[in-house]
Structure 1
Amino acid sequence: MRVFLALSLLAGPVAAATHEVDSAATLSAALRSLKAGDVVKIAPGDYAPGNFVTGIADLTIEARDPKNPPYFKGGKEAWHFSRCPGLTLRHLKVSGQSGNGINLDDGGEMERPVVKVLIEGVEVSDIGPDGNFDAIKCSGLDDLTIRDCRISGWGGQAIDFVGCHKSLITGCVFTGKPGFSQHTGPQFKGGCEDIVIEKCRFKDAGERPIQAGGSTGMDYFRPPGAKYEARRITVRENTIEGGMCATAFTGVDGAEFTGNTVKSPEKWIFRVLQETKAEGFPPCRNVVISGNSFVFQRAKVKDEINIGADTAPETFRFEDNHWLAEDKPEASTPKLPVVEKGGSYGKQASGTKRKTPGPE
């Protein structure tokens, strides 16, 4: 028996394309025709907000000229990416949104995180200005890197991680502005795990410049059923100047705060809080605070640590930190919930080399 094979076009995937964009019309056309692996290069100029991309893998959207980035002004959101693994956003400018500046999510598929996203050299400003509106919002992302970005003036969070894992924020600058509510800077909650924030600079970055933990509705945890707001959070080698405190540990189950420089907090140096009190959630606990420099005004900082109810401050560990009340060096010794090992206080550390630069 003879067999006839109908040879239709058995082509493989369509090759990725590079889209050169220089106007709102060409941007809109490029976004309508995207395929996996495409690159969108955007020329300098002003562009409309409200750009939505869903289900495109390995997409790159970047400035044609990194020194003169495209500018996405106003509207509710500048960009929203849903289920876009392998996404790269590079050298964009976003400003003046009433909702979130940039929003990335898993499309509600909470057991299937979006992986390998890079946000680099992006500038986001003037978001909100009031209420729970974020400069960069990330929900359900793993292996996410946010590098060398600048964020100034926001409503809720500068960066909001909800159920993100194995991710890094590095080399970013966060600057608060008058007239913006700025509840927290970067925040890690809703089942976040294995997050590092390092080598960043903060200047007057709100009530809680960094928040390890938080308060999340039970339906939004990733993975579903997680019994921790955040765990294994590392805050290292940052400079934090101003703000109500340096960092709030809020229902976190394990964190490290190491090698940071904290200068001129307005009221406290740390807050230890428990906002999620559902069954099975442990108290805020197991935080190591080591090798940091704290320079403050005793006239402002009456208590170094604000300890809320239902927390476990006795599980914290303090080691080798330097504490200096600039206006009253003899009163530099902090009141801590446990005895510190190897700390130095005020004039006792006069021979110690200390680095206390302010943010750019």
Structure 2
Amino acid sequence: MSEQPGRIMAGEMAEQPAVLRRILDRGAPAIREVARAVAARGPRFVLLTARGTSDNAALYAKYLLEIRRGLPCGLTSMSTTTAYGARPDLTDVLVIAVSQSGGSPDLVASTEAARGAGAVTLAVTNNADSPLAEVSEYHIDILAGPEKALPATKTYTASLLALYLFVEGLGGDGEGTAARVLPELADRILQRRAEVRALAARYRFAERMVITSRGYGYPTAKEAALKLMETSYIPALAYSGADLLHGPLAMVDNISPVIAVVPDGKGGEALQPVLDRLRGRGADLMVVGPRAQVAAASAGFVLPTDGLGEELQPVLEILPLQLLAYEVTIARGQDPDAPRALAKVTETR
């Protein structure tokens, strides 16, 4: 363990308001330019390629593209290309590869193959000099700065904002005005670390956790589960609220904690029947979301989302859950800076 467990992860979480501001101030013009160039190509379908944390950011982009641009999207299975040698016709398809490092061999190989099969290829990375950026026709730099902690934090929120600006730019609305409030709101959330530390005490001895949401909040649930597993080693299962009702609800009791990410909008409305069922089963329910939903739960964290579009809320939703993973890990006597068996670049093929 390092001399100060969690020092690096804590520092990088704290950088997130500044990173979001940097993207809005410095990165947005380049993102708009890429969006205009891609829109001019007229893609009719989008394939998103990613692993791990970046896969959750890609899932967020899928919701954005389908809801706000009306473009059908799919999440790729890279092994069809890298292991099985499939070469589908990707004419008029936009392939977006999301990777903080831009160095994973399977992402590079599958993106290169996609470009050869006629796709318009876009890399979204934190490294403009990466192999992935090199093989892609277009590139967006998320400008998060060096990330040294193994659990990704600032590159996740940076990816979300960059993808949001890109999708807005595809529709000719690339100014990002609605997103301007995010740095200040993010800073306010991160200042509430003591509040999250108190919540973490509830889960120090948890043997498993369930995290659920719907709509734009579902990628947040998946990313929160990943953060808990890779830092504290608590098995955390993420489900869409709809999928939770199709069987997995049977494992929920008053012992295993459930975290519900409740968007302030249509996703939260769709999740309401799930919340009612969870309460009916006596679940230890923590809610991350609007004040009224938190008040009806066993515990929770109120998000400052009044007046903020549901499509932007994931940038804020994940912040208390990053802090929660960090604080639970520290409480369990482990070092979130040094998760076992992890490397910054995963060499999958």
TM category, shorter = under 0.3
Which structure carries more helix by proportion?
A: 2
Q: Which has the larger radius of gyration?
A: 1
**What TM-score do you get using the length of structure 1 for normalisation?**
0.22
Higher relative contact order (CA 8 A, sep 6+): 2
**What TM-score do you get using the length of structure 2 for normalisation?**
0.23
